[in-house]
Structure 1
Amino acid sequence: MPVDLPRADPGTESLTDLSHEAQVTAESDGPWCTVVWNDPVNLMSYVVFVLRSYFGYSRVVAEQLMMQVHEEGRAIVSRGSRERVETDVQAMHSFGLQATLERAGED
C-alpha cells in the first residue's frame, strides 16, 4: 500500500508546503524506505508517470521527487513496514526503475 500523501489543489499549496507535509507523513509510516535511483535510461516524464500512477502522488509531489532523483541521484519515495516497502521496490522494478529498500535514517 503506497504512502498516502496530501493531494495538491493547483495554486493552493506551495512546493515547500508539500515537501514538509510529505516528509512528515512519510516519516510516521515506518522504519523502512523505498529509494528510487537515477539512471540514464528512463525519461523524467516517465518517472513522474510511475510515481503518480503507482503511489497516487499529485503531479507537484511526483515532479519534486523526480527532480530529487535527477539532481541528487536518489529519492525516498515511500516509507513503511518492510513488507510494504519490498512490495513498492518490486513495483518500481516492474516499471523499469532502479529501486532499493533501506532502513529509515540511513539516507
Structure 2
Amino acid sequence: MTPLAVPDIAQERDYRLDEAAAPNRPWQTVVWDDPVNLMSYVVRVFRDYFGFSPEKANALMLHVHNDGHAVVAEGAREQMELHAQAMHDYGLWATVRQAPQ
C-alpha cells in the first residue's frame, strides 16, 4: 500500500509573514503572454485602460511577447488587484505579486 502524500511543512511558505516583513515594498500587476490575443489588441488594452502612449504600450506588449510577461503597473496591493481583474475582463492573463527586493 502506498502511503498518502503529506505536504512538506518545512517547504510551505506563509505569505502573510512576507507582507509583514516588507510592508513598504510595492506590488506589481504582471501581464503574461498567451496564445490567444493579438499583439495589436494587447497594445490597445494597454492604451485604453492604462492610458499609455503608443510607444510605451507597444514596448510593454513586446516585453510580454518576447519575455513571456511584463510589469504594467506598480503600487498598492488593492490597486494592483483591480488592475489584474481589469486585465482578466479584457481577456488577458494577469497576476499580482510583491515587487522583488
TM bucket, shorter chain: 0.7 to 0.9
Instruction: Indicate the residue corresponding to 1:62 in structure 2.
Output: 57
- Using the aligned pairs only, state the percent identity: 56
Aligned-pair CA distance for 1:105: 1.2
**Residue 89 (structure 2) pairs with residue 91 (structure 1):** no
The aligned residue for residue 5 of structure 1 is: none
Partner Cα distance (1:59, 1:105) in 2: 28
Q: Distance in 2 between matches of 1:62 and 1:105?
A: 23
User: Which residue is 1:27 aligned to?
Assistant: none
- Gaps of at least 5 residues in structure 1 are 1-29
- Alignment of structure 1 residues 28-47 onto 2, 5 Å: 31-47=26-42
Could you say what secondary structure the match of 2:71 adopts? Answer: strand
Please state if 1:79 is matched with 2:90.
Answer: no
What is the TM-score when the length of structure 1 is the normalising length? 0.70
User: What displacement does 1:66 show?
Assistant: 0.1
Displacement over 3 Å in runs of 4+: none
- Computing the radius of gyration from Cα coordinates, the structure with the larger value is 2
Alpha-carbon separation, structure 2, partners of 1:72 and 1:40 = 14
Structure 1 window deviating more from structure 2 (30-39 vs 50-59): it is: 30-39
Question: Aligned-residue CA RMSD in angstroms?
Answer: 1.1
Look up the match of 1:50: 45
Structure 2: 5+ residue stretches without partners: 1-24
Give the number of aligned pairs: 77
